[in-house]
Amino acid sequence: MLHMKDLDLKNKRVFIRLDLNVPLNKGKIISSERIDRALPTIKLALKKNAKIIIASHLGRPTEGQYDKKFSLFPIFIYLKKKLIGVNITFIKKYLKGIDIDSHQIVVLENVRFNLGETTNNIDLSKKYANLCDIFVMDAFATAHRIESSTYGICDFVKQSCIGPLLYSEIKILKSILNKSKHPIVTIIGGAKISTKFKLLSSLLKITDTMLLGGGIANTFISMFHPVGKSLYEINFKNKAKILYKTKKIFLPIDSRVSTSYSINSIATIKSVSNILPNEEILDIGNETIKKYKKIIKQAKTILWNGPMGVFEFPNFRKGTEEIAKSIANSTAFSVAGGGDTIAVIDLFNIYNKISYISTGGGAFLEFIEHKTLPILEKFKKQ
């Protein structure tokens, strides 16, 4: 595969697809990890005197509609502070063309505001390709998605290549896959099983034990007990049953619940078999924490993606904190990935205690599953 470092970028319009999808709270960046990991790529393009176009998505806005809370403007401001002395501008409307000079950076507004982005629309892919001479794919976290700015653009641009961050992620993950020691413990949190069902299925083939938390766990719990007004997916109960038959999945036995959902909500610890209709599960309970920590202690390899609950709320943080610190203190080789997971690592200051932190969530899980990604296969065929 062609690598960005090996190409002559001087005076070339270079469209760099990064993953700057960082968590925000009222326009303020909570974790800058993904942006910081992308800075070497930007600096390499500057060194090569390229005309730099930076593209990324942020969150999941309604496609085709501008929404200020999903604007990349706060990320642009952060980049401006990190790249002092560099001519860097922000553009909202860019599909009809951009005027750009060498050694200049143009940050494009959220690509997901463009109609057709997530469906890999051909016309949109052509418009992206018309903006540049070279396309650099360096957004590992979205490398598993077949979208216009991550995949479709390759079919119409003059030249495309892999970026340094994507290359580094793949190289390290391949090494991990080839050297994984058993028992492998996989810890999965997050909101929905529907977005991770295929990944869970594949991970269960290589993992020895899977520990679940968050809304994903609620869907499994709902197979046996009512979960009140907790987040869960009733349409995936039957599929959850199939996965559960592997006997590798461990579920919470108690939870922190509340009758309201707010930062000031009071937590009550209850057995998962005793959730009332007006209560919702927002974190794992103390007995579950003990059970999970015991399993983690025996692991030789740990794959971690997602929090155990609503860690943003102080009263529902303990489960995520205890499991995160247990992973950090483990002697196992630990791999963590995903935006929320990185935010957790930052929050509890365990960055140096995780063996490898991937910028990707779904991408790193899918790479573990298939040992490749759609964009990599496309680059191989060039």
**How high does pLDDT run on average in the chain?**
92
Cα–Cα distance list, 219 to 241, 288, 319, 320 (Å): 10, 17, 18, 18
First to last CA, the chain: 8
- Calculate what percentage of the chain has a pLDDT beyond 90: 75
370 is in an annotated binding site: no
What's the chain's length in residues? Answer: 382
What mean pLDDT is predicted for residues 253-266? 96
**Span 102-132, pLDDT tens digits:** 889 999 999 999 999 999 999 999 999 999 9
Q: Are 57 and 70 in contact (CB under 8 A)?
A: no
338 is in an annotated binding site: yes
Could you give the CA distance from residue 200 to residue 378 in angstroms, rounded to a whole number? Answer: 25
Q: Which residues are catalytic?
A: 34, 192, 339, 362
Residue 108 tokens read as 């494009």
- E-assigned strands of 267-350? 268-271, 280-284, 301-305, 333-337
Residue 110, pLDDT score? 98
13 is in an annotated binding site: no
Residue 371, pLDDT score? 80
Could you give the CA distance from residue 371 to residue 202 in angstroms, rounded to a whole number? Answer: 11
pLDDT-derived band at 198 (thresholds 50, 70, 90) equals confident
Q: What residue ranges define each of the domains in the chain, with the CATH number in brackets?
A: 4-164+373-379 (3.40.50.1260), 180-349 (3.40.50.1260)
Q: Which residues pair with 220 in a beta bridge?
A: none
CA count, 13 A, side-chain hemisphere, 12: 19
**Span 325-370, pLDDT tens digits:** 999 999 999 999 877 888 899 899 999 999 988 887 778 777 877 7
339 is in an annotated binding site: yes
Could you give the CA distance from residue 50 to residue 10 in angstroms, rounded to a whole number? Answer: 5
